[in-house]
Structures are given as C-alpha cells and as structure tokens.
A and B are shown apart, each in its own frame.
Chain A
C-alpha cells in the first residue's frame, strides 16, 4: 500500500513491522521507549510492544552495543539507537573490535545480526557533537556494512533489509531529512540493499551522493539543467559494500564525476570512489574526479555550519570546474 510519509515515520513503520513479524527483534537505546526517541523515530513502539522489546537503556553507549552483542549471541536481533552521530565513539570499540569481528573469529559459527541506527549529519543548527558524518570511520572496518537512505521509501525498505541481514549494519539516518516526505509502498519488492540507484539520469556529468546530500544534488541538477547541462545523480544508498559498478556505468557515459558528502573530504568515501573510478574508468574520464565535502576542521558551531556544509553553489562550482577541463 503506497502512502506518503516522512523518513522518520518510514523508519518507525519499518521497525514496527519488524517487531510484529519477528519476536527476536528488539529496539534498544537511550530514550527510545517512553519518549519515542529524541527524533520520535521509535514513537509508540514501547507502548505497543512493551518494555522488554523496546528497551530504554542506561546512558552508556558502549553498554548498548556490548549488551546487543550478547543478545545477538543469545539469538536476538537487536536494533540499537545511538542518539547522535557524535555520541557513537564510546561504543566504537565494541563496534569495531567485537561486533565487526565476532563472525570471523568464530569461523562463521556465530552471527551478529545487529543494526546500529545513527542519526547523522548537520544542517539543523545543533550544538557540538550533534552534526557529524562519521560514515567513513565505519566503512573502513571489515565486518561492518554501512548504509544510508536518502528518502522515505528507501528508509523503510533498507531498514527491513538491515534487520534481516546476518551481518552488523551501521544504519546512518539523515537527520536533517527526517521530515521530508515521499511515497512508501510497503508491499513493493525492494531491490538489493547494497545496490546504488540512479536518482536522475543525465549525460554531461555524474554527481555521486548519499543520505542528506542526494536532495542537494538533485537540486543542483535542476539548476544546472537551466544552464543547459545534463547531470546524472547516483544515490549510493550503501557505503559498504559500495556499488562501484553503477558508478562506473554512469561515469563511462558522462566522463565526469563529482562526489558530494558532508563528511570531511580528506580520506572520506569520496577519496575511495575517486581512486577506484580512476582505476576503472581511466580512459573514459574527461576530467579528474572532484570532491565536495566538509573541511579538515572540527565541525563548526551552528552559525558557521552553512560555510562548512556543501551547498548548491559549492556543488555547482565543482561541476563548473569539472566541465572546464
């Protein structure tokens, strides 16, 4: 049934569906129960499924992930929430050292079906540690999968697929887009979780983005179209694994690539995409791969974040530079 809903609501519906259909699914995190989460993503779930399935945890992130690992060993499928991107680091050790490696250490004998939900990214005028984009720090770790939806339909289905995954999935939610609405067909047959999506077709240049930056890149493509330029927009959806085939196909067609993310450019996912696409598409490229992203500086105070975050002009500036080659 197709219905128009916001990303936050789509995730909420997806979690509700998982709780209804699999008794082993648990929701855990700070304020996820009674409050329904600080963004209300888990609103109403504890009321309907009880305190033992929608668990308000002590305020300790390492404990959230560490106990989720134990619950997974017991056969549960915990979906844990880290309240904000900048709060994940107390749990980083458990995620990187334990969660990511447990399956391999046990030579495949145990599985870690744990989803770590992290609202991420800036643009909401928040205080420090509430606006970061640490996806590369997780994508760098073997054993983890890293995904991020850009729209309500993907939010719904990618959450379903993440919960069904027997591998740990870091699920980055674009918090500034939580209230963006779109059609969600809860009876559709979704594509593979780790497949990128061509969000807009074009011929002159490829914009690769994910999460909150997809909307910006679609706007940039609109603006460029007014100037007679046809931009293709690829929504990666998954950062690990990363669907290089879809990006390659696009770049072979357009010959130009600009990668856009909020995370710092230096050693960000754009660096990896640039390296691999250069390797795969060397003779197709008309220009070097360019990147637009955050600077190598701490995420700035809210009054400066518009300077830090990629915006329409910075994306179009990179498009101009690429086309100038």
Chain B
C-alpha cells in the first residue's frame, strides 16, 4: 500500500510535547485487537475468525501515519488490499470506463459552471475540482432506494443519482433556493449551513429502520463540518439507534482558509471510534478505493450493523467558491503536489496500461463532454427569473393568513404601476 506523504498530518509541535502524539490515546503502546466498534470489513472465507487486528479505525502506533485505503496509486497501478478488494472484484473494464466517464463529465460540468459564474450567469459557484473520485466512487456505490444528503458541493454525487446537473444551478443563479424534488432521485437539497444535514440523514436512516427496509443513507460533509455540534450529535444518534447511515467526510484539507489543524487534533476518521462505530480513511482521489470502501460501509449498514465514517482524503484544487481567493492562505506548491495525484489522470493511466481503452473512447468522451458543456450553458442562459409572486409561494404547505394578506398588498402595490407602464412613461 502506498501511503502518500501528505496524507498524515502531524500534530502541531508548538502545542507541547505531550500533545505531539495525537495518535496513541493513553500512550500505552498496546492495542486490543478487534475492539468493539472498530471492527473492520467482514473478511471473506478462510480468513474469517483469524485473530488479526482490524486495519481500519485503529489507533496508529506512535508516530505512525494514519492508514489510507488505496487501490490505485497516482501512477495508476493497482494495489492489492485483502479487505477491500472483494468489494470491487467484479468491476468490469466497462464499469471502469464508466467511472472515468462520470469523473470527466462531472469535471466538465463543474468547469462550465465556473465559467458561467465568471460570465455573470451565476452569482456563485462552489467547485468540486479535485474531489471527483471521492464523489463518483461513493455515489456509484449507492442503490436506487438509498438516500443521499449532500452539502452544496456534491455535484458528482448528484450526477450519480441521476439529477439533471442544470437543476443544481438554480440556487447559484439565484432563481430558487433548491428547486428539485428530493424524492425523485433520493438526493436531498443542497444544504448550506454546515453540517445540519448530518442529522437529517440520521433521522431518515432511523426511519428506514422503523420501516424495516434495507436501504441506507449517505451523509456528505467536509473537514470543516466535522467541528460542528450537529455532526457529532448525528454520530451519536446514529450509533445509539444503530441507524443505517454512512458519514462520508470529504477531507479536502481546507475549510475556506482554515486547514485541518484548525479543526481537529486527531485524524478525522478516528472520531468514529469514540462514538462506537468504525471509521476508515480512504484515498479520496482514488475512485476505485472510494467505491470499495463505500460499498463495504453500505453493505454492513444494510445488514443492520449500523453507521460508519469514511474520511475521503482529498484536496480542494480550486477556491472554496468563486468568491474566494486561496492565494491569501495557501501556497500554490501544495496544489501542484496534489495535481500529481489527480483522480482522473490516475484512472486514465490505469485504463491505458490495462488496454481497457482506445483512442476512440477518449475522443467520444471529449465530444460528449463538450456537448454537456454546451447544453449546460444554453440551459442556464435561458433560465428565466422567477415570477415575482414566487416569493410568497410555498412559505407554508397549508397556507397562512399573513402571507395571504401580504401577497394581496404586494399585488396591489405592483398593480399601482400599471397605469404608468401603460402610458409608456
């Protein structure tokens, strides 16, 4: 297994000698194998029952770097992993090409949205550049009856759920505050207040249990959100009720301008241990590993084994949003280092080395990609402003006397301009 050098974040040295070791609670140096709540994925066949410490969610030894599940190196080489290989053993070359296509099209859509913001067609855009593998890998692990609760950056997951990407742009253009039917693709509205959706996801998962269904829920959030009380409450509710919810944290290293050191003193995946469920750190730039780990978590949730935390270690290649200026808080060489680990490039290398693709595939994808960009551009430019009375619509489901009264006043006020307009003044 290749562990990337930047994967482990050392504790701040300035914080004193004791706190320099965030990896070993108690500092005993001994670790119980198979500790409850930190169980790794179910091992297949003969290895079951072997007395071996699980490889996930385990406190690393002093100075050890956190484990990182990786199935494809940045060079595109397949790394063997006894625990997680079974979850992608059946992935065909066609499916690999599908994952590649998903990532390329998602990136193309994202680039188009950034451009549309620059052209004044969108008020804001939150780019997912660099996080395609984490999103496509996890999104493709879901079943149709599963439910996804995104932040505002899960454009790749929305793609996997079959949400028309142009639907995502309404809120960024300012024509609505969400605007798609969450139940048509089991993809909830984007949530802007950080971490709130983790509780919604947990509640939804509690409902699945009450219904006796075997669906599961995927709750997305980021490294910044891991500091929110709601996220920690969600962890706890999910654990207490053994709810089938997977907490998928994309650790993209930056919460606007604040790095991981400002959010946490332990690797995020290890938070799970304290709540009583397993946590795994996966290479979030590795689509195959993200797929495998999410499948593992979803399968155990379906079996009634409760929640899991996946920390997808990745990097926000762009700004937080189009309003942000990362040059004020991070060096470009950091971004350049992560460019070498690009999620799309590594799968392309893998596909090419395995002779799973030919030039025709890439050419066709390029054409499809440009067609998507063109369609998105055209749809956004044609997206009309809402009717002014829409501001009163849906404030309540069952109506409200004050809303009715104010709508009528607003209508009368608007109507007072009719004469002026008729006179062409």
Contacts and interface: CB of A to CB of B under 8 A. Distances in A.
Interface stretch (A2-10, A174-182, A238-246): A238-246
B400 A105 contact: no
B212 to A, nearest CB: 10
A103 to B, nearest CB: 5
A142 B236 contact: no
Interface stretch (A94-102, A116-124, A316-324): A94-102
A58 B199 contact: no
Interface string B386-398: 0000000111111
Interface in A65-84: 65-76
B261 to A, nearest CB: 26
Nearest to A100: B395
B75 interface: no
Nearest to B191: A98
B347 interface: no
Given A58-B240, A68-B203, A142-B403, A94 B230 contact: yes
Interface string B273-309: 0000000000000000000000000000000000000
A145 interface: yes
Contacts of B204: 70-71, 73-74
A67 B396 contact: no
Contacts of A97: 193, 196
Contacts of A101: 177
A74 B203 contact: yes
B203 A67 contact: yes
A63 B395 contact: no
B206 A71 contact: yes
Interface string B162-205: 00000000000000111111110000110101001011111111
B236 A143 contact: no
A243 B398 CA distance: 16
B196 A93 contact: yes
A186 interface: no
Contacts of A261: none
A98 B394 contact: no
B182 A71 contact: no
Given A67-B199, A67-B203, A73-B204, A107 B176 contact: yes
Contacts, number: 146
Interface in A197-247: 240-244
Contact of A94 (B196, B393, B396): B196
Contacts of A70: 199-207
A194 B399 CA distance: 11
A318 to B, nearest CB: 26
Interface in A138-175: 142-143, 145, 165-167
B189 A105 contact: yes
A109 interface: yes
Contacts of B338: none
B422 interface: no
A255 to B, nearest CB: 24
Contact of B237 (A58, A72, A112, A167): A58
B402 interface: yes
Contacts of A71: 203-204, 206-207
B400 A145 contact: yes
B91 interface: no
A77 to B, nearest CB: 11
Contacts of B191: 98
A62 interface: yes
Chain B interface extent, by class: 35 or more
Given A103-B397, A106-B178, A76 B200 contact: no
Contact of B199 (A69, A76, A241): A69
Contact of B396 (A73, A93, A143): A143
Contacts of A65: 199
B210 interface: yes
Contacts of A102: 189
B394 A63 contact: no
Contacts of A145: 396, 400
Nearest to B245: A70
A148 B398 CA distance: 18
B401 interface: yes
B220 to A, nearest CB: 14
A109 to B, nearest CB: 4
B310 interface: no
Contact of B402 (A62, A107, A110, A241): A241
A58 to B, nearest CB: 6
A194 B394 contact: no
A167 to B, nearest CB: 5
Contact of B211 (A62, A74, A104): A74
A103 B196 contact: no
B208 interface: yes
A127 B425 CA distance: 65
A207 to B, nearest CB: 22
A107 B201 CA distance: 20
Given A58-B233, A58-B237, A242-B402, A108 B397 contact: yes
Given A66-B202, A71-B204, A103-B396, A60 B402 contact: no
B208 A62 contact: no
A249 interface: no
A103 B398 CA distance: 11
A104 B236 CA distance: 29
Contacts of B394: 103-104, 106-108
A166 B398 contact: yes
B179 A107 contact: yes
Contact of B178 (A57, A105, A241, A244): A105
Contacts of A57: 237
Contacts of B34: none
B122 interface: no
A-B pairs, top 10 by smallest CB distance, nearest first, are A70-B203, A66-B199, A74-B207, A67-B203, A63-B233, A70-B204, A105-B178, A166-B397, A109-B181, A241-B401
Given A66-B198, A74-B204, A106-B181, 6 more contacts: A66-B202, A67-B237, A74-B208, A110-B183, A142-B403, A240-B402
Interface of B: 176-183, 188-189, 191, 193, 196, 198-208, 210-211, 229-230, 233-234, 236-237, 240, 393-398, 400-403
30 contacts: A58-B237, A62-B230, A63-B230, A63-B236, A66-B198, A66-B199, A67-B237, A69-B203, A70-B206, A71-B203, A73-B200, A73-B204, A74-B211, A97-B193, A98-B193, A98-B196, A101-B177, A104-B394, A104-B395, A106-B178, A106-B182, A107-B179, A107-B394, A108-B394, A109-B180, A110-B183, A111-B397, A142-B403, A143-B396, A241-B400
